[in-house]
Amino acid sequence: MTKQELRNLLEEMSLEEKIDQMNQLAGGFFTEDSVITGPMAEMGITEENISLTGSVLGLSGAALLKEIQKKYMEKHPHKIPLLFMMDIINGFKTIFPIPLGQGATFEPELSGRLARIAAREASASGLHVTFSPMADLVRDARWGRVMESTGEDPYLNSLFTEAMVKGYQGEDLREEGSIAACVKHFAGYGAPDAGRDYNTVELSSHSLREFYLPAYEAGICAGSALVMTSFNTIEGVPATGNRHLMRKILREEMGFDGVLISDWAAIEEMIFHGYCRNRKDAALRAARAGVDIDMMAGIYSENFRKLVQSGEISMELIDESVMRILELKNKLGLFENPYKDADEQKEKEVILCREHRTLAREAARKSFVLLKNEEILPLDKKKKTAYIGPYTERRNLMGSWSLTGDEKDIATLKEAVMNSALGENAVFCCGSPMLDNDVSLEGFQDCIKEEIPREEQERMLAKAEETARNAEIVVMALGEDRLQSGEATSRADIQIPGIQQELFERVCRVNHQVIVVLFCGRPLDIRKIAEKAKGILVAWLPGTEGAGAITDVLSGDYSPCGKLPMSFPYCVGQVPVHYNEYATGRPHVPGKDKDRFRSKYLDIPNTPLYPFGYGLSYTEFSISPVELSSSSMTRQGQITASVMVRNTGNVKGTETVQMYIHDIAASVVRPVKELKSFLKVTLEPGEEQKVSFAITDRELRFLSENGIWESELGEFEVFIGGSSATENAAVFSLTL
């Protein structure tokens, strides 16, 4: 449709049609067995609301969605098609590593390719919109949703957010295989107090703007069609009703002109925040903030007619939101083809096809982070190796948000090992249940509570000890259950489950040659594991091809190259912990622990166990001192910072060379280091390569005391190394 045709359509629509375009309902309202009872009836949802609602979430499948669309449009007075939306977080049917694992690849372009594959599969199944990417900056591992972010660094998050948006949407939303992206959760959702999901957020305006907003803005600049509001408050005002945040910052400053959708029932939650008196008040505040779609609260449908009639909401405000929704449908080409790419035959061809599985395996391998290796990896295939742990035979290697994935499509680690060269001398033993008996977990679609009598647990542990005693090497597949991370999974104790810790200790007593393959959706407290294990490989929740990718790395067919996108804390007492902290007026000096009056703990170190950017390979790299092309630069010029990177080991490997900058003195205190660029280099044994980074005025800008992004004259340190802990530095000046 042309812009004028859309305006004509808007003018012809009744008030009820307009209001319900702004209403989103879950798929259950549109299936054959749907009945409006209980809580749904309490929402005030009527048959008319269902027949006119503008979008649906939570359903997929080409045949089903085509049928729903057909029936809907036959009844709709203006034949306006439905939008079908879903949380497609890290793959549709072909499941990739969780976003935090993707962040560990330090390859945003790879995540863009993964998003494109997810879009191809989802669009063939009839979907139009994904609630992804999550651009929330995360620094507190207690918060379970860190798994959906790409980590603790604003620059890295921005690159990944941009790449994912472009991957989902392609060049044109109308083209086959494209779906609309939705950047979420705007804003600051990744900084809940105490790491507790849905909690309030206390951020200074400066921190919000400089560290938390950039990744959202990167997604918006990339053209994201939608943005989702967050559950939390910002400066005491719930984001969903925050006019300054949504009207001033999002729309005016960032230039976002797409659809703003609430998170699930977030409009209603403003009542429970104590911000709105009732549902009518919540509807009014959300509308004034510019929220276009009410997700699963029914508040707009229930209240807008009365608010328009009373003059509290103008028709212009309603029309503004409805036009944005119609424009999105038009950009997707739904008025010409309401089914878009939904195609049963295409589904069969693209879903879990060889191309998609191959890339899933590549992504998983690149996401793994080798934290420790005392000359035990890669495995010696001739040695008898025992694979012990609950993840040895666990088929579900997907994150909790992999709603459309199916564990039947995934090989277990045991199956993958037996199908590889490692299988000849391998033995297997589960060793323990995944969880302690007192732990009950609830996911979106399943509930887990293991009740295994202590006598049976003891038999499992004893068998594991015997298996380990008779092996030369032990690979322990341990970690969180997949439902221990994700939404609503805040944890104060971020260690592996107690029964698995007991299994680890008992195995280590009888065999010291232990490697841990760690499955997790967040950084964990692994001090006890790091003390005794000879090798630690973080596999995250790696997805459909995770088991095969693990065997590729354990066998040495692929040398690990992942880097931590989020620091692993020494213990939970440190969190939130991140590399780009401020120095404080009394910074702790390593080695001077007896200096009492410094910013430090009495009982633990300040630094994390493993810092951001850290990760080993099967080879070693040397990085020469930093060389600068000049000791000074002007705002119009640039400096080149260079190092020589050499593979000093015996096998081919990849190093991620990272450049950080520190503004030594500024009008607003600066972090001790800030990632500004990185480059992955792959070198043969003995090979070396010069790696250079251009430093321009852009890398030196920050949110100054003037409230604008600018650089300031003075001295800067540039660090180049293999992690954020590098001290390999040189100094230059920005001059007139």
Task: Tell me the catalytic residues.
Answer: 263
Residue 658 dihedral angles phi and psi, to the nearest 5°: -115, 135
Gyration radius of the chain's alpha carbons: 27
Residue 280: in which H helix or E strand, if any?
A: helix 279-289
Q: Which residues contact 173 (CB under 8 A, 6 or more apart)?
A: 179, 180, 225, 331, 332, 333
Q: Where are the alpha helices (DSSP H) in 106-212?
A: 108-124, 154-169, 205-207
Least Cα distance to 249 among 198, 288, 289 occurs for: 289
Note whether 290 and 51 are within 8 A (CB): no
473-479 vs 385-388, strand pairing mode: parallel
Beta bridge partners of 182: 226
Note whether 133 and 166 are within 8 A (CB): no
Number of Cβ atoms within 10 Å of the Cβ of 502: 15
23-26 vs 294-295, strand pairing mode: parallel
CA–CA–CA angle 4, 7, 11 (5° rounding): 140
Q: How many angstroms separate the Cα of 685 from the Cα of each of 135, 325, 619? A: 38, 56, 8
User: CA 156, CA 161: separation in Å to the nearest integer?
Assistant: 9
Q: Which residues contact 5 (CB under 8 A, 6 or more apart)?
A: none
User: CA 538, CA 544: separation in Å to the nearest integer?
Assistant: 16
Note whether 645 and 623 are within 8 A (CB): yes
User: CA 161, CA 151: separation in Å to the nearest integer?
Assistant: 11
Note whether 256 and 290 are within 8 A (CB): no
Beta bridge partners of 447: 442
Least Cα distance to 283 among 223, 241, 245 occurs for: 241
Distance, CA of 284 to chain centre: 32
Token output for 26 = 């879950």
* Burial classification of residue 66, based on how many CB atoms lie within 10 Å of its CB (0-12 exposed, 13-18 middle, 19 or more buried): middle
What letters, b where the CB count within 10 A reaches 16 and e where it falls short, cover 368-404? bbbbbbeebbbbebeeebbbbbbbbebbbbbbbbbbb
Q: Which residues contact 290 (CB under 8 A, 6 or more apart)?
A: 243, 246, 247, 250, 251, 260, 320, 321
Cis amide linkage into residue 185, ω under 30° from 0: yes
Q: Which residues contact 139 (CB under 8 A, 6 or more apart)?
A: 152, 190, 191, 566, 575, 576, 577, 578
Token output for 52 = 């006119």
